[in-house]
Chains A and B, each alone.
Chain A
Amino acid sequence: MTPMVIEALVKIVLVLAALVMAAAYLVLLERRMAAWIQDRRGPNRVGIPMTKIRLWGLGQPIADGVKFIFKEQVTPAHVDKVLFLLAPILIFSAAMAIFAVIPFGSVLPPVFGSEEPIPLVIAPGVDVGMIYVFAVGSIAVYGVLLGSWASNNKYSLFGGLRSGAQLISYEIPLGLGLLGVVLASGSLRLDKIILDQAESGVWNAFTQPLGLLVFAVAALAEAGRLPFDLPEAEQELVGGYHTEYSGMKLMMYLVAEFLHMIAAAVLIVILFLGGWHFWGLTGSSQAIAGGTWTVWIVALVRVGVLMAKVLGMILFFMLARWSWPRFRFDQLMNIAWKVMLPWGVVNVAVVAVWVEYGDRWARALDLPNKLLMAAVGAAALVVCWLLTTLADPTKADNRPIRNDQGPMTKDQ
């Protein structure tokens, strides 16, 4: 085996383990957050097994995992056995595969006799990184649709249909939000996009607030989180597409959901919030100068900054879950097609014009390019939001049409 293969394998093992652990502990965090917001305490009892040590409930994910593994795997008689098994595997592996191109920091200095610095990404130098993420991310739709179809259950199918419509609709604003960033930095490589923001010190969130909004909303919807969790709205659909699943198969679905949320958070951070960059803390170029120790420290600080941002984003997602009620399905579609899509187009248009003429105009006005871009971006956001508010495209009257010459009741 060549050193490159070994390096990749080590990274794969690390990322896989870290992601599964992260998903398990995010479940705990989610439950604790839910409890706190509802004035409860949440799971705080499970600690180290066989002892009375509680550790603030940090043993809970292990207990949950053990429970899932030992649970009975029910395969109902009426399901399509092959697809029923394939669907959770598909959605889980697709959710995992997204992380192959995601940089978890910048580079580590050379170790173990290698000469090159080690990039903190499983597949370094993928030129179509973003397209890969989208391609793999879209497979989630198949996981959901296959699972719901194979379940041969009307509630599962309802959930699957809703999910299919939702995921496909929100793919478009997601792509449009991304397009602005790609236009601005001129590359589909995730590390290049971060580097672009780090070098100028101006995150894309400042220059393209409209893009951030569109992308964040679409990412939330793609992850199927509240207020966009119609695919598995418990009150309406039992469990949605995973109603018939149990045991490890259900766990794969649930872990995949959390992985989607992590992926959404990571993408928002990388595309719009500067990735590993933080002013005055992490430096601004990919290569790190200095002695071995400073190199290591900076490399680790960058990983820490990225993780902190991602955690912040995930905390926001979890807070959002309890902050706003779920959208109705027509509102969901209206927001996708009548609000997010036009906003995304406006954002792309503004960025495209800016990439073409921005430098010239900035020179003419004698202002820094990025500052002017931030002003234009903010103006675009305000104008779009105001116009949308005036047009009120999500307004819907679902009441039946009424005949004024209708019959009178007998007593009048």
Chain B
Amino acid sequence: MNRDDRQIRWIEPPELGMAGKSYLRLFLEGLTTTLKHLFGRKKTVEFPEERYQTPDPIRYRGVHRLNRDEQGRVKCVACFLCATACPARCIDIVAAESPWPDREKYPESFTIDELRCIFCGMCEEACPVDAIELTSFFDLSGKSREEMIFDKEKLLSIYDRTKDREPSWSARVRDEG
């Protein structure tokens, strides 16, 4: 940058008043701000004893689940859109001929490597039948790498555990009309 360039406009700082020049305003404003926060409400959640409640569990991007349809079958049609959309390539699907008449394919196995997952939610976006969704469950832990690779049964069981608290998108559409 050429400092003599007349294209560059130099902005004058706003003139401080007497209060500003005497540091009095700075002094008082700083002190009142810190005092207010010193005695104010604390935002920290005491985690293990007290759990963080997401304001909107539907919107939160936690552990995945595989939704079931009304008959309790896995909703997934093994179209591979989620696996294609996944930037971390953590979804592995093995498709097979569907035993049911309403679709051609179904996932014989559906595994998500939760250690590779970056919880971006792209799979949820990509899914055409709202079969894969992210829940608000966030404190995921395991004792081995193998334990953190979730298979179809595990993902379906997460749906069973969370469906009452966080109804699936299609269930919400059905209920709300």
Interchain CB contact under 8 A, A407 and B22:
no
The residues in B between 77 and 131 inclusive whose CB is less than 8 angstroms from any CB of A are: none
Interchain CB contact under 8 A, B34 and A319:
yes
8 Å CB contact of B4 from A35, A38, A402: A402
For residue A389, CB closer than 8 A to chain B, the reply is: yes
Bound: A385/B34 CA distance, A: 25
For residue B143, CB closer than 8 A to chain A, the reply is: no
Interchain CB contact under 8 A, B34 and A322:
yes
Which chain A residues lie closer than 8 Å to B41 at the CB level?
39
For residue B37, CB closer than 8 A to chain A, the reply is: yes
Beyond A40-B43, A392-B21, A399-B10, whether A407 also contacts B30 by CB under 8 A is no
Interface centre among B4, B22, B31, B33 (most CB of A within 10 A): B4
For residue B26, CB closer than 8 A to chain A, the reply is: yes
Shortest distance in angstroms between A340's beta carbon and chain B's nearest beta carbon?
Answer: 12
Which chain B residues lie closer than 8 Å to A38 at the CB level?
37
Interchain CB contact under 8 A, A319 and B46:
no
8 Å CB contact of B2 from A35, A395, A404, A407: A407
Interchain CB contact under 8 A, B42 and A39:
yes
Interchain CB contact under 8 A, B38 and A36:
yes
Shortest distance in angstroms between A326's beta carbon and chain B's nearest beta carbon?
Answer: 12
The residues in B between 13 and 51 inclusive whose CB is less than 8 angstroms from any CB of A are: 18, 21-22, 26-27, 30-31, 33-35, 37-44, 46
8 Å CB contact of B7 from A36, A404, A409: A409
Say which size band chain A's interface belongs to. 20 to 34
8 Å CB contact of B6 from A35, A323, A408: A408
For residue B176, CB closer than 8 A to chain A, the reply is: no
The residues in A between 318 and 359 inclusive whose CB is less than 8 angstroms from any CB of B are: 319, 322-324
Bound: A38/B37 CA distance, A: 7
Bound: A41/B44 CA distance, A: 6
Interface size on B, residues (CB 8 A): 26
Beyond A33-B38, A389-B22, A409-B5, whether A39 also contacts B43 by CB under 8 A is yes
> For residue A389, which residue of chain B has the nearest CB?
B22
Which chain A residues lie closer than 8 Å to B46 at the CB level?
41
> For residue A405, which residue of chain B has the nearest CB?
B4
Bound: A387/B38 CA distance, A: 34
Which chain B residues lie closer than 8 Å to A409 at the CB level?
5, 7
For residue A114, CB closer than 8 A to chain B, the reply is: no
Q: Mark B30-74, 1 if CB is under 8 A from A, else 0.
A: 110111011111111010000000000000000000000000000
8 Å CB contact of B5 from A37, A322, A407: A407
Which chain A residues lie closer than 8 Å to B34 at the CB level?
37, 319, 322-323
For residue A49, CB closer than 8 A to chain B, the reply is: no
> For residue B45, which residue of chain A has the nearest CB?
A41
Which chain A residues lie closer than 8 Å to B30 at the CB level?
323-324
Shortest distance in angstroms between A333's beta carbon and chain B's nearest beta carbon?
Answer: 16
8 Å CB contact of A385 from B4, B22, B26: B22
Bound: A403/B2 CA distance, A: 10
For residue A406, CB closer than 8 A to chain B, the reply is: yes
For residue A412, CB closer than 8 A to chain B, the reply is: yes
Interchain CB contact under 8 A, A323 and B42:
no
Shortest distance in angstroms between B31's beta carbon and chain A's nearest beta carbon?
Answer: 5
> For residue B13, which residue of chain A has the nearest CB?
A397
Q: Mark A370-406, 1 if CB is under 8 A from B, else 0.
A: 0000000000000001101100100100011011111
Which chain A residues lie closer than 8 Å to B43 at the CB level?
39-40
The residues in A between 144 and 161 inclusive whose CB is less than 8 angstroms from any CB of B are: none
Interchain CB contact under 8 A, B4 and A403:
yes
Interchain CB contact under 8 A, A36 and B37:
yes
For residue B145, CB closer than 8 A to chain A, the reply is: no
Which chain A residues lie closer than 8 Å to B35 at the CB level?
319
Shortest distance in angstroms between A396's beta carbon and chain B's nearest beta carbon?
Answer: 11
Which chain B residues lie closer than 8 Å to A399 at the CB level?
10
Bound: A69/B61 CA distance, A: 42
For residue B174, CB closer than 8 A to chain A, the reply is: no
Bound: A403/B6 CA distance, A: 9
The residues in A between 291 and 341 inclusive whose CB is less than 8 angstroms from any CB of B are: 319, 322-324
Which chain A residues lie closer than 8 Å to B4 at the CB level?
402-403, 405-407
Interface centre among B33, B40, B44 (most CB of A within 10 A): B44
Give me 5 A-to-B residue pairs in the complex whose CB atoms sit less than 8 angstroms apart, sorted by A's number. A39-B44, A319-B38, A323-B33, A402-B4, A408-B6
The 4 nearest A-B residue pairs measured at CB: A406-B4, A323-B30, A389-B22, A403-B4
Given contacts A407-B4, A408-B6, 8 further A-B pairs with CB under 8 A are: A37-B37, A39-B43, A40-B44, A323-B33, A323-B34, A324-B30, A406-B6, A409-B5
